[in-house]
Amino acid sequence: MVLFSQFLFVVLWKCCIAEINTEVAMIGDVVQSMQRPTAIVATVCWSPVKKNQFLRFRSEEDEGDDRISMVQFIDPETVPEINEHEQFLLFLVDMSCNNISRYFERSSSKNHFRTPFRWLLVVDSTVENDENNVPNVIAHIDALPDSEIVVATEMGNNTYILSCIYRVGPSTEWLAEPYGAWKPETRLQIDKAIHTQSLALRRLNLARYPISICYVLTNNDSYNHLTDRINDHIDTITKGNFLTTNFLLDFMNATQSWSFTNSWGYKVNGSWSGMTGYLERNQVEIGGSPMFFTSERAAIVDYVASPTPTRSKFVFQQPKL
């Protein structure tokens, strides 16, 4: 009996490999093309045979190259908790699964559409989508320029067209970058720009989208002298950074949207004041004035580079002779 079931398995394996292999091979090729170690979290409605094929396939393809380190199959009701190795994770989704929209909503609320996660969405002819190949079920998801979502759309004849989709801001129109095409004869033909330019450079043009920045001014008159160098010993650090951040917005073709406050922000009775409050309430995207790193703020603020060296000094008055 045991022998018989093994025999059956081998027969099944042989019979179906030629038939389904294209999708499995396509997924393997796309993951390889990302040139990063990858752990796959797969939400697919595949038969056990196809799942098995996928596991077998990638271990054969990866001979001597452990780019795909793990594959985990989950059902659409489960959105995984991720605490480590986020940079390796790729969410693979078969868009023809039933009731997949709730899975995307919960993933979105857990920020899984942000960096460093990656997505590969496999779309067949049963899935409704728009002219950019954006499937309708994710049309309302905010996948901003830091997201990395590859959509593989089946065009018939085992041919796939691949594109990378994102939107500049919440509810703005979807944009698509060509990623490549996959055919059984040629395998993956990747678009040149995908390899030669990083994601940040490809998505530099924010099409005049307003980026809101909060600055700290301790003196009311500083507002009138942000760029003219009058009283540049007052609120120096903000006046210096005001220029830098405006260059940044020009560089990204974004429009300026400024807020001003008179403090860096402290936690008072459970709510944050000042600039930290603006950041915590998501009223602004960037804190424009450099701010000291405190453990309390670090819990809610992401610090980037320090634009101004800061140090403490004791100053002694020279004794009178």
Ligand X SMILES: *[C@@H]1O[C@H](CO)[C@@H](O)[C@H](O)[C@H]1NC(C)=O
**Which residues contact residue 76 at a Cβ distance below 8 angstroms, ignoring those fewer than 6 apart?**
43, 97, 98, 99, 100, 102, 103
Beta bridge partners of 268: 271
Is 224 a binding residue for ligand X by CB under 6 A? The answer is no
Residues facing residue 165 across a β-bridge: 149, 176
Segment near ligand X (CB under 6 A), from 52-60, 88-96, 175-183, 205-213? 205-213
Closest to ligand X by CB, 23 vs 90, is 23
Nearest-Å Rg of the Cα atoms of the chain is 26
Residues 231-260 touching ligand X, rule: CB under 6 A, are: 253
58 Cβ contact partners less than 8 Å away, ≥ 6 residues apart: 28, 31, 68, 71
Binding mask 166-185 for ligand X (x = CB under 6 A): --------------------
- Pick from 208, 229, 233, 313 the residue near ligand X by CB under 6 A: 208
With CB under 6 A as the contact rule, which of the stretches 89-97, 109-117, 201-209, 286-294 interacts with ligand X?
201-209
Query: What's the closest the beta carbon of residue 229 comes to ligand X, in angstroms?
Result: 21
Is residue 261 a contact partner of residue 278, using CB atoms and an 8 Å limit? yes
Options 122-130, 142-150, 188-196, 203-211: segment touching ligand X (CB under 6 A): 203-211
Site track for ligand X across 269-308, x = CB under 6 A: x---------------------------------------
**Tokens 């396939």, residue located:** 57
Which single residue brings its beta carbon nearest to ligand X?
A: 156
Q: Which residue has the tokens 């042989």?
A: 14
Q: Residue 230 interacts with ligand X (CB under 6 A)? A: no
Stretch that binds ligand X, among 46-54, 122-130, 133-141, 200-208 (CB under 6 A): 200-208
Please tell me the distance from the alpha carbon of residue 306 to that of residue 293, in angstroms, as a whole number: 10
Sheet arrangement for strand 187-190 = 68-73, 38-43, 89-94, 118-123, 149-154, 160-167, 174-183, 187-190
| Strand duo 255-261 + 267-268: pairing | unpaired
| Interface residue with ligand X, options 108, 205, 212, 246 (CB under 6 A) | 205
**By CB under 6 A, is residue 98 in contact with ligand X?**
yes
Instruction: List contacts with ligand X (CB under 6 A).
Output: 98-99, 156-157, 205, 207-208, 220, 253, 268-269
